[in-house]
Amino acid sequence: MSLLSVENLEVSYGDFQAVRGASLELEAGQTIAIIGANGAGKSTLLNAIVGLNSQKRGTVRFDGQDITHLRTDRIARAGITMVPEGRRLFGTLTVEDNLMVGLAAERPGPWTIEAIYQLFPRLGELRSMVAGSLSGGQQQMVSIGRALMTNPRVLLCDEISLGLAPKVIGDIYRCFDAITASGVSVVLIEQNVVQACAASGYVYCMLEGRISLEGRPQDLTRAEITAAYFGTEVRT
């Protein structure tokens, strides 16, 4: 049985249906990626999993339990958290205070403040800086560190490469080896197809609120992905 399973999820904002029946599975220890263009419903799907969206139908199961309508803080305490799009740090708090907020989930585990500073040594140097004053890449490290501080079993990452320099993106993705090695299962949202395929063992492509393609990266052709991503016919 998979650790996290989403069955036929539908999410609406008022009259607009952003997710139209999406299903996906995440096995323990696995990293999966969801790719798709802007507005395909990727972020909405993740937000719905952690309960930040209330207008939804379908089922989200975590470790066999139905968590579809659980409150976000309960879901976090159960072991699913998210690195939100745009980082969303507590801008007036210091780096260390940002990380310490994660202790509220009361989930002991390998990820302590020292472990975060070991993963991102730069954050140790910046620990007493106000988070709002950091560069984009540093902020992304704080955002990932903050999520890890809850010692999640499932970590959802919403476009962590957005707006960052390629070198910084590389640095951040390299850290995911250590994160998955600690037993965390990861769901990545990416617009960057190459990055997503390189970092994950299974890829879902979303188009207009539906899963338009799924499979292991090595089994998918470039043409298939392009068609599923943009919704165009494959020309041969």
Interface with another protein by CB under 8 A: which residues? Answer: 50-52, 71-73, 76-77, 81-82, 84, 88-93, 97-98, 100-107, 146-147, 149-150
Q: To the nearest 10°, report the CA torsion of 47, 48, 54, 59.
A: -170
Q: What SS3 state is found at 205?
A: strand
Q: Which is nearer to another protein, 22 or 76 (CB)?
A: 76
Angle between helices 166-174 and 136-148 (to 10 degrees): 20
* DSSP structure class, residue 94: B
Q: Which is nearer to another protein, 41 or 102 (CB)?
A: 102
Residue 10 beta carbon to another protein: minimum distance, rounded to whole angstroms: 22
Residue 146 beta carbon to another protein: minimum distance, rounded to whole angstroms: 7
Q: Which is nearer to another protein, 150 or 200 (CB)?
A: 150
Residue 225 beta carbon to another protein: minimum distance, rounded to whole angstroms: 30
How far apart, in whole angstroms, are the C-alpha atoms of residue 203 and residue 45?
15
Residue 78 beta carbon to another protein: minimum distance, rounded to whole angstroms: 9
Residue pair 153/185 in contact (Cβ under 8 Å)? The answer is: yes
Q: Which is nearer to another protein, 106 or 233 (CB)?
A: 106
Task: Please name the residues in contact with 124: beta carbons below 8 A apart, sequence gap of 6 or more.
Answer: 117
Q: Which is nearer to another protein, 81 or 200 (CB)?
A: 81
CB burial of residue 103 (10 Å; 0-12, 13-18, 19+): middle
Residue 13 beta carbon to another protein: minimum distance, rounded to whole angstroms: 13
- For residue 192, the cross-strand partners are none
